[in-house]
Structure 1
Amino acid sequence: MSRAVLVDLLHRCCASCTGASLLEDSVSDSQVFVLCGNTYREKNGFVDTFLSSCKSVHILDSSSTVESLYRFKQTLDQLDLSSITVLTTAQGKEVLAHYQNLLFTAIYDFQYKQRPVDETCPSCRGSTDSVSPGEEVREEVSTFMQQLPALKGELTVLKSALIPDCFGHGFSTRTGGVSYIPTLSSLNLFSSCRRRDPVAVVMENRRRLALHAGFHPQPMHLVKVNHANDVWVLGKAEPESYDAMVTNQTGLVLAAPGADCMPLLFADPVAKVIGVAHAGWRGTIMGVAMATVNAMVTEFACQVSNIVVAVGPSVGPCCYTMERDQALDFMSVHPDCVPDPELARPHVDIRLANRVLLQKGGVLPEHIHDNTMTHWSCVTPCTSCHPENYFSHVRDGLNFGTQVGFLWIKQTNE
């Protein structure tokens, strides 16, 4: 199996000494990357003989370490490589670990091979850099990310006509971010240990969304999905996981993720209370939507008749099927939720199921903005049907991106 070897010549290493370490290993089937930077290359040149037996050599000589390592990651992704051996010193490992945490995820298996510094070697002695503390690395990475061009067009959000101007809100689409992995491109807003989009890229996407939507520099609080019906009331102890949040505090941006599952936004303009929820098929059947409404009523004395609900981009019955025994649960909500129950995998309308459950709980039909409300601009397109605008688990498989619905209570000066 092919692997990548990253040769660190920046941190008290030189080509000659590190070459000896390479020759001790079998690297004939490896992709070798030489991290050197312009300064090192100009001062020291290269000793290339030790690289002659390598399958392929890539020189990482950008003007900054972050740019070199970002190029390194892009090449790894193009080659579908995730096993990396790093030849460096103890000093180099300490520095590179900061970059690794920001630019890579747990998919990438880094194995560090540290070699002692040869104090008799003039190049090793002369190439000392101070160890970069974590904060400096974070600032360097953040600055670099902000300079990257937006991909797939401009950043856009959908807005519901139901939610009044005393609230800020929207549903993100997939354009205008910096994620380059095809199924995550470009405004992916969630970093997972099982995917290739790292923290630094996702945080830059969130920053761009916040600037566009008007809540920068307020942080975005994303629900910790459990595919159930637990609601966190902000101000109380935070559970380990939950699918909904409610608050009456200004300055807090609540967000719910979605990539086929529904991001739901709840707002009471009379009591000035908001909520968000993530509703997949499990959460829908378990009643996460009404659990959110009930928390607003119980905790903040909201009237159900005042609450409006916006249903964000999500998979439609055109594209979503389930095993028949699971689909029957939706038949019990309303027969129209399963238009073809005779099939082994019937189509299921989880949007309609949420509308029915909300209406049964007392939310007024005209206070629910979903795909049935055709007289307003659409905020509930089918994610699977529109690959140019939305991420979709159903369409793209496990390596899917994430959009969000977000909501906050505006302060009086906004």
Structure 2
Amino acid sequence: MVEAVLIDLFSLPASLHNGIQGVLRNTLEIIEKCSSTPTPFVYVMCCQMPESERKDEQESLLPALRDFQSTKKGLEVVCAQTTAAVLYTIKQILDEKDLSVIKVILPSLRKELMKVYIDHLFTAVYQFEFEDLKEASDCNNLQTIGPKREEQTVSTQDVALIRSEIQMHLKSLPSLKGELTILKSSLIPDDIFLHGFTTRTGGISYIPTLSSCNLFSSSKRRDPQAVVKENLRRLANAAGFNPENFHRVKTDHANAVCVMGRTEPDSYDGIVTNQKGVTIAAPGADCIPLLFADPVRKACGAAHSGWKGTLLGVSMATVNAMVSEYGCNVKDILVVLGPSVGPCCYKLPRESAEEFHRIDPKCVRQFDSAAPYIDIRRATRVDAVFSAKKLCTSLTSSVLTSAHRAF
């Protein structure tokens, strides 16, 4: 069932500007007549040029739209200078209302272009259907606005222009939840390795669970790749690395390690390299992001260590990869633990807790309960201390992702 309707007026013929209220009235009548259930939310997209660039016919369009909006409950007019700006604004409204099934009503010649915008600004979470903008209100006798072609194609140049338009709009947006912050460890020498841990601040992702410096896009999430790419651009600019040479692990909550330059596994929680100018990264939240650095061999690694990866020894596997691939001496490898959940806030079922208890009894609190508290940071230290010369926690245990709003 359609949850919202978008009416695209960006390419509305100038001859219809004066009669825009009639066009909208007829369109809404069509929606009501041809739908089994009423659509509560309708959004009208239109172009709002700067005053210096407006033509005579545009002067009457916006006031007419505003007047029409005031008479129709559930209808909202969204204006901006570009399609990207309007669509992204509407996307924010849809996400706030948790809507995902959308009908787009537009001139037929805009359909393929609109699909390119949608492919870049939305994900597979959303479902779109398209309908030609009509003038008549009789469902059995509809007249399409504008010329119609049997086949429409979008040129490579058009796609590039749309991508550029989207990038420029996202680049213009303010950072959310504060400025971008990079936390560093004094253990890793800055003159050899650029390194750090990000917080949640400084990006443009507005979805509550992803806000704001989200660096991962998925078909199951509402944050599109274009937004993640902009977040990465801002991070790269602040940290000083090339975003085109950025590689993050493909988490599987296991202990596989990717060696840069070799065939990439389908999934892995550790990654190592000795290539200059390459940035590697691992995500963290409840799970621990780990950084590994060998200042002697100029090699480094990153790993994602959740409770499963901790039990499987992903930190040990990452160290072993550095030793076997780059000839690192285990005594030269520095290991830094990033922000993660702490023992005060993290529980696991008793059978899983028993495995941590075997690593070190101090890793488990309230062991006799059905869901004991687990110190995965301590378990990771125990695992890594067998492999590295020095082990340092970049943040004290008082800075926990579950208890700090920055993470």
CA offsets, 1:94-144, max 9 Å, x none?
1112221222222222122346999x9896259xxx877221111111111
Moved more, 28-37 or 230-239: 28-37
On the 8 A contact 1:338/1:347 being kept in 2, the answer is yes
Deviation at 1:55, TM superposition (A): 4.6
Q: Percent identity?
A: 46
On the 8 A contact 1:311/1:380 being kept in 2, the answer is no
Q: Which residue in the other structure is 1:395 paired with?
A: none
Question: Deviating runs (4+, > 4 A) in structure 1?
Answer: 11-15, 46-55, 114-118, 120-123, 377-380
- Give the structure, 1 or 2, with the largest relative contact order (CA under 8 Å, sep 6 or more): 1
Deviation at 1:63, TM superposition (A): 1.1
Q: Which residue in the other structure is 1:135 paired with?
A: 160
On the 8 A contact 1:266/1:309 being kept in 2, the answer is yes
Deviation at 1:217, TM superposition (A): 4.6
CA distance in 2, matches of 1:50, 1:215: 50
CA distance in 2, matches of 1:123, 1:85: 17
CA distance in 2, matches of 1:182, 1:217: 25
Q: 2:119 aligns with which of 88, 97, 101?
A: 101
Judged with a 3 Å threshold, the aligned counterparts in structure 2 of structure 1 residues 48 and 324 are, in CA distance, closer, same or farther, namely: same
Paired amino acid for 2:9: L
CA offsets, 1:76-101, max 9 Å, x none?
12222111111234532211122212
On the 8 A contact 1:218/1:253 being kept in 2, the answer is no
CA distance in 2, matches of 1:47, 1:340: 64
Alignment of 1:81-160 (within 5 A): 81-114=99-132, 124=146, 133-160=158-185
Q: 1:244 aligns with which of 251, 270, 275?
A: 270
Moved more, 147-156 or 311-320: 147-156
CA distance in 2, matches of 1:311, 1:101: 37
**2:314 paired with 1:304:** no
Q: Which residue in the other structure is 1:386 paired with?
A: 404
On the 8 A contact 2:336/2:393 being kept in 1, the answer is yes
Judged with a 3 Å threshold, the aligned counterparts in structure 2 of structure 1 residues 54 and 111 are, in CA distance, closer, same or farther, namely: farther
Q: Which residue in the other structure is 1:369 paired with?
A: 392
Moved more, 315-324 or 36-45: 36-45
TM-score (norm: length of structure 2): 0.84
Deviation at 1:44, TM superposition (A): 7.4
Judged with a 3 Å threshold, the aligned counterparts in structure 2 of structure 1 residues 57 and 296 are, in CA distance, closer, same or farther, namely: same
Judged with a 3 Å threshold, the aligned counterparts in structure 2 of structure 1 residues 217 and 223 are, in CA distance, closer, same or farther, namely: closer
Q: 1:228 aligns with which of 254, 260, 264?
A: 254
CA distance in 2, matches of 1:89, 1:123: 6
Q: Which residue in the other structure is 1:262 paired with?
A: 288
Judged with a 3 Å threshold, the aligned counterparts in structure 2 of structure 1 residues 329 and 116 are, in CA distance, closer, same or farther, namely: same
5+ long unaligned stretches in structure 1: 372-376, 391-414
* Greater C-alpha Rg: 2
Deviation at 1:49, TM superposition (A): 11
* Secondary structure class of the residue paired with 2:292: strand
Count of matched residue positions in the alignment of Structure 1 and Structure 2: 379
Paired amino acid for 2:367: P
Q: Which residue in the other structure is 2:34 paired with?
A: 25
**2:79 paired with 1:69:** no
* Secondary structure class of the residue paired with 2:237: helix
Moved more, 184-193 or 262-271: 184-193
Deviation at 1:196, TM superposition (A): 2.1
Deviation at 1:310, TM superposition (A): 0.7
Q: Which residue in the other structure is 1:402 paired with?
A: none
On the 8 A contact 2:125/2:222 being kept in 1, the answer is yes
CA distance in 2, matches of 1:276, 1:65: 39
Paired amino acid for 1:138: R
On the 8 A contact 2:340/2:400 being kept in 1, the answer is yes
Query: What RMSD in Å do the two structures reach over aligned CA positions?
Result: 3.2
Deviation at 1:12, TM superposition (A): 5.9
Q: Which residue in the other structure is 1:344 paired with?
A: 370
* Secondary structure class of the residue paired with 2:196: strand
